[in-house]
Amino acid sequence: QGKFTLLRDSRTDGSFLVHHFLSFYLRAGCKVCFVALLQSFSHYNIVAQKLGVSLAAAKERGQLVFLEGLKSCLDLLFGEEEQPGQPSPLQFLSGRSCELRALFDFVRVSLTPAGGDSWKGPMLLVDDLSVLLSLGAAPVAVLDFIHYCRVSVCYQLKGNIVVLVHSNEDSEDEENELVVNSLCHHSDLILWAEGLATGFCKDVHGQIKIIKRLSLRQAAEEDQVQIYQYKIQDRNVTFFAPGLSAAVL
């Protein structure tokens, strides 16, 4: 409880980690707020069904609160009428304000326990945070949003946060790298998926670096780092030590 996990990908697609955490927390009986900025609901639902979870059923029973960012953006940009008293969580796109206060309010209201709720704990999942920068949000506003979410979800509600960000160390996108580096300093756990430096391989799709931020809890401790390679299959992901793939053995 109260953990902030950062999913970071470079030169590869780390969305398989998002699907894992989404299905994991739903199966665990947690209340999940999913801020999906990258894909449609049907896309996530199809993948979740392969993992044995129905997002549609989770929405119906109130366990999953889903923000479909693509649809919200279209509604705002093409002038769909907002319902009175229910501003869009992405209303910063309309130019009225550069803050992400409305998005934070959406998360807070979604995860605040109501009378009769029996969920084990709240969980916020964001896929992916880099899209907010692409939509025009300032780096400071994005970092403020995550800070307030951590205070509300991790510390007040004793829940967990999982956020995906794209990064490229060779990129000239200084704003994105600023956000990524700042989040790395504040996260309890970093799962960093990277593409292979040698290029494409059908038996090894990439490597994942697991960084446990022990130094965040105790200043004298060093962070614990583990490196595995992985292969994504239709319904699961296989992990193995570097050099021990089927292509080598």
Q: Is 194 helix (H, G, I), strand (E, B) or coil?
A: strand
Do 213 and 190 contact (CB within 8 A), yes or no?
yes
User: What is the predicted pLDDT for the residue at 22?
Assistant: 96
User: What is the predicted pLDDT for the residue at 171?
Assistant: 72
Sheet of 206-212, strands arranged across: 64-68, 31-36, 122-127, 160-166, 4-10, 189-194, 206-212, 224-232, 237-240
Distance of alpha carbon 37 from alpha carbon 103, whole angstroms: 12
pTM beyond 0.85: the answer is: yes
Structure tokens at 10: 């470079």
Structure tokens at 68: 């479909």
What are the backbone angles phi and psi of residue 110, rounded to the nearest 5°? Answer: -65, -35
Residues in the chain: 249
Q: Which helix (H) or strand (E) holds 200?
A: none
pLDDT values of the chain reduced to their tens digit, one per residue, 249 residues? 889 999 999 999 999 999 999 999 999 999 999 999 999 999 999 999 999 999 999 999 999 999 999 888 888 877 655 555 567 888 888 766 678 999 999 999 999 987 777 888 999 999 989 999 988 899 999 999 999 999 999 999 999 999 999 987 777 789 999 999 999 999 999 999 999 888 888 889 999 999 999 877 777 678 899 999 999 998 889 999 987 776 665
User: What is the predicted pLDDT for the residue at 85?
Assistant: 54
16's CB contacts (< 8 A; 6+ apart) are 193, 232, 237
Instruction: Tell the CATH superfamily of the 4-77+88-199 domain.
Output: P-loop containing nucleotide triphosphate hydrolases (3.40.50.300)
User: What is the predicted pLDDT for the residue at 56?
Assistant: 95
Q: Which phi-psi region, left, alpha or beta, contains residue 111 (left: φ > 0; alpha: ψ -120 to 50)?
A: alpha
User: What is the predicted pLDDT for the residue at 140?
Assistant: 94
End-to-end CA distance of the chain: 40
Distance of alpha carbon 191 from alpha carbon 168, whole angstroms: 15
